[in-house]
Each structure stands twice: as structure tokens, then as C-alpha cells.
Homo-oligomer: A and B are copies of this chain.
């Protein structure tokens, strides 16, 4: 019985995820989702109070089904900071395409719905843990470049991995996902890692520009 109601709920969540993946995050009206789940539009409201609540639940639901924990294992068990950063980017690069449709819908909903904004921010906080751990692993190895304060490096690493950057590079620039992963690794390493014996880059010299 309670499995019955969960069954419908699950069908709605799956239909939501599928509709959003297909539409690349665009559209996916309540009516379409309901149709895809094989129920009436109003019935959706018996399970979710609003569209954004549905989006949030669907995002969590998808996350659950993707087994994030074991996907993160290679990063968490990395032996060096550099490896941890690399593994984290590999994780993110393989995870992102799978959540993209839903993530995009949530990102769009953010603009009009405070609950969606909170939900997204909540996910980003979770992601930040991964980024923080990677940067801290660099710090522990003494390999975070001098120019970066830890917290700023975490911010910048998060920024690099923004959904919108992936979207831009893969959709607008035509990068494959593998290229994205590989280039992001290079970018992150060049940006954040100082290699032993590497003399510091003459950045400060140019601090007082001629205009």
C-alpha cells in the first residue's frame, strides 16, 4: 500500500527527470510530466506542492540513483593532492552530463523561485566539500601555489567547475566531454599546483601597469 503511493511518486520523479533530460532543462511543463508519468496533471499536485518542489525532489532522486558515493571513491582515496584534484574532476566530468537536464531546470527555476535557489545552493554546498577536500589535499602536500589563499582557491576551483562552464564548452564550443575533463585537469593543475623546484611566476612584477 505504502509501496503503491511511493510507486506513483517514483513514476513522477522518473518522468520529470526523463522529460528534463530530453528537453535539456527547457520546458517540461507540469502537464507534460504528468502525461509522461501516465497520470493527470492534478494528480501530480497530490504528491508535490509545486513545480519547484518537484524539481528539487527529482534532483535528489536522480542523485540517489547515481551512486555518487562510490563514484567519489577514487578521489577520496587518492594518495596525493594532485591526484585527488584529478580524480575529482573526473568524477565531476562524468557526473555532470547525467544531471545536466535537471540541474539546468533547477538553475532556471532559481531565477523565479526562492526554494529552488535554496535547493541549488544546498547542492553546491555539498559539492564544495569535495572541492575543499581536494584543495586541502594540495595544501597538505605543500603544493598549493603560493599565490592562492586556501579559501580563494576553493572558490576559484568551484567556479571552474560551474555547470555553465561545462555547458558553454560542450554546447557552444563543441568540446567532447573527455576533452572537457582533460582540459579542466590541465587548467586546475596549472592554476593551483606549484611543483617542487618550480620558480615562482613573475606575476607581481606587472602589478603596476602603465596606465
Could you list which residues of chain A lie within 8 angstroms of chain B, going by C-beta atoms? 25-26, 74, 82-83, 86-87, 90, 108, 111-112, 121, 124, 145, 147-148, 152, 155-156, 158-159, 162, 164-165, 168-169, 172-173, 175, 179, 183, 185-187, 189-191, 193, 195, 198-199, 201-203, 206, 209, 211
Contact = CB atoms under 8 A, between A and B. Distances in A.
A168 B173 contact: no
**Chain A contact surface mostly:** helix
A174 to B, nearest CB: 9
| Number of copies of this protein chain within its complex | 2
A201 B190 contact: yes
Contacts of A193: 201
B199 A198 contact: yes
A183 B147 CA distance: 9
Contacts of A111: 25-26, 108
